[in-house]
Each structure stands twice: as C-alpha cells, then as structure tokens.
Amino acid sequence: MDFWVRAAQLILSLSLLIVLHEFGHYLPAKWFNTKVEKFYLFFNPYFSVFKKKIGDTEWGLGWIPLGGYVKIAGMVDESMDKEQLAQPPQPWEFRSKPAWQRLIIMLGGIIVNIIVGFLIYIMVLFVWGEEKVNHQKLTSGVAVHPYFEQFGFRSGDKILSVDGQKADEVSKLGMEIMIFGKTHFKVQHEDGKIEMIVLPEDIGDRMWDNNAEAAFGFRYFPGPLDTVIAGSAAERVGLKKGDQILAINGKRFRFYDEMATELYHNKGKKCELEIRSGNSTLTKKVKVGENGKIGFLPELKVNTDTSAIYTQYYSFGESFGSGFSKGYKSIYANIVQFKYVFSKKGAESIGGVGSIGKLFPPVWDWQAFWTLTAFLSMMLAIMNLLPIPALDGGHVMFLLYEMITGRAPGQKFMEYAQYVGFFLLLGLILYANGKDLVGAITG
C-alpha cells in the first residue's frame, strides 16, 4: 500500500509540473503567432492513450509517464521531423521568428517552473506554517555525526546559533554547512559550557568525502532491528529482523547515535555485539565496514524532546517573504549540488523515478506533497537549464550563440546535436532507473 500511495503522489506531482512547464512554452509560442502542432502529457511512441485536435494543436495523453512535450512547427526537437524542416520556412514556424522571440519561447517552461515553485512555497507556509525546533528545549541535545567530534561537537550539544542566526532546525543543519557555507556555530555542551566552534572553509568537501552529510539529527531510543541489509556483515553473522543490539564492545547505550558512533570509531575493525534474539542473549563478532556501518537499520523511537518541536505560522504578507527565501534557497541548493554530483560518489548516488518517489511519505500528506512539489519544480527548472542538446538549456545555448555572433548554427549541426543530447539523456535515464531497479531487487 505504501508503494501505491507514494506512486500516486509522484505521478500527480510530476503531471502538474510537466503540464505547467509545457504551457510555459505553449503560451509565448501562441503570443508570437507560432504554430504548436502537439501538446502532450507523457510520451506517446506508436500510439496515444487519448488525443483530440483543437484548432492547430493536437492535445493528448501518452503512455510512457516520463515527461511531456509540445511540438512547435519548424523547430529541431526530439521529433526530428526532417520532412518539415526540408521545406522552405513558413512565417508561422519557430525558425522564422526573431532570435529574441525564440529565446523567450524556450525559456518559458523554466520560468514557469520557477514561478510555480515560489508560489507553492508561499502557499504552504501560509496554510500550514513551518515546523521548527527550539534547541533550548532539547533536553537531550542533538545527535552529532562522529566525524564532527574532531571540531569540538558532541552528541548532546544544543545548537544555539549558526552564523549569528538563531538555530531553529536540526536535520537541515548539514545542508546549511555543505550548500550554504555556514561555519560559525555557537553550542552549549551537556555540562552547560557554551563554546563557539568555527568549521574549516572546505568543510563541505570533507563532509562529502567522509559520508558525513547528515551532520546533526534528533536523538532516538534504539529499538529492535527493522532491516538487515542483504549481503551485509550483519547478515553474514546471523543478525535478523527483530533482534536487539544490547551492547557493542561491552558498552551499553541510551541513544542510537551513541551506538553508531561506537561503530564509526571502529571502522575496519572487529566489534563484539551483545544481542537479544528471541529469548536468548548471544555474543557475535562482526567486522565494521570502512563507512563505519555493519548493515542494519533499527526501529527508531523519538525521545522525550518532542516538546521542543513547534509550528511557526505566517500571515499572508509574511508568507511571501519567507516563501521567497525558501524558493531562493531551493534554487541555490539545486545549483551548488552539481559540484558533488559530478564525482564518482555523486554518480553512484544518482537515482531515478523510484528514488524521487521515496521522497514522498507513505501516507497522503498534502503539506508534504506540496512542499516536495515545490522542490521538484525548482529542480526541473535547473535541470532543464543545463546546456545539453535536447533540453531547453541546449536550445538556449545555441540561441545565445546566434544572438552574440549573428550566425545561427546550421540545421545539420542542430540535428546531430539533438541526437547526441537525446542519447545522452536516454543513457542517464536508463542508468538512474536501472540503479533503482537493482536496488529494489537486491534490497
């Protein structure tokens, strides 16, 4: 059931964004008297689920739910309609329009996605507010990734401020460091001592290299094992779902992060686990991986610090400022993350439709749905702006070249570029979704 709820949210979200994106191309095309031959949600090779011609445009629904398109007359696009392009240019065709009009048509979808993202963020904040955390009320403090211990952080700390601003989040603090370059932290340790911790300038790269992106989190009481990953060290020594780890190397723990820290500090070494399995208490030795893990996920029970979580509500006017700020941060994060994506680890972490679907909750939650839709709208805008032929950004790149040099690239060149871009995107889609499929099969 969880799968279908997530799938329904994903399809609805992407469908809305795709239709609005394509309208971003359609409307300026019509304003400039350019013929739009087709407007499709999803792709329709060989046949369409539904189609109806209204005026000059065929409106339809395809059967491959991976995107959508508008076919604009006289444009070198994914349809590769060479027969039309071989004819003399007609005044209603894309290729007959001035470069500045063609540029607006190509940027239209991206602009609409950005505007939609801002509007949704504003709407979400006005309707539901925003969940925040009062760090002073976190009686057990925060869980700290063990990599950050070298800088002076300890699990149980309270984060008082970040770069001089009041800290009101926990799980997003890692992103604030990696993406937004926040380095000055005012913390209160468990003994009450207040300290200013300054992180190095290259901390983002260090976090990425050391798998420390989840720098801070809430503290949880560990429960029985919920998942034992197939092929992991935990499975090889006989751990199974429902077992409970009582101690590691003779140490007992109150919080799960303490257990994770002990494993992290024993990377590449053997640890002794005390385990309750059914009515028996067992001792097993297991080798910890170089990532500081042995391959299990416990049931997590939030501690008593839930009273520190509150909802901040916004007036209609306040929601505009805060919504615009969230939208800007979303755009900035989508741009900056490319420096991490274009690396070996980044390539390994790329996911497809399945990975995006898992971002949605397993129950229908309109606040989560619209928040993720806003995020995806900004992501689609940035992805489409990439200077890759077959994407909007590729067309924009060639149009800017034409406007600067006064010479348009040749039609043959554009056709070959479109082929290259198409196969590049197809390869990326197959790779990302193939990884999701393998992950689903192997666990």
In the chain, domain spans: 2-40+73-125+371-442, 135-216, 220-303
pLDDT of residue 37: 92
Asked if the domains at 135-216 and 220-303 fall in one CATH topology, the answer is yes
What pLDDT shows up at residue 443? Answer: 54
Q: What is the pLDDT of residue 87?
A: 77
Q: Which residues pair with 228 in a beta bridge?
A: 296
The segments of the chain whose pLDDT lies below 50 read none
Report the greatest alpha carbon distance in the chain. 83
Find out whether 122 and 371 touch, Cβ atoms under 8 Å. Answer: no
pLDDT at 147: 94
CATH 2.60.120.260 at 220-303, yes or no: no
For domain 135-216, the CATH architecture is: Roll (2.30)
pLDDT for residue 80: 56
Task: Give pLDDT, residue 84.
Answer: 66
Query: Two tokens at 48?
Result: 């369409």
* Residue 433 pLDDT: 66
At residue 79, the pLDDT reads 58
pLDDT at res. 384: 92
Q: What is the structure's pLDDT at 415?
A: 76
Please give the model's pTM, rounded to 2 decimal places. Answer: 0.87
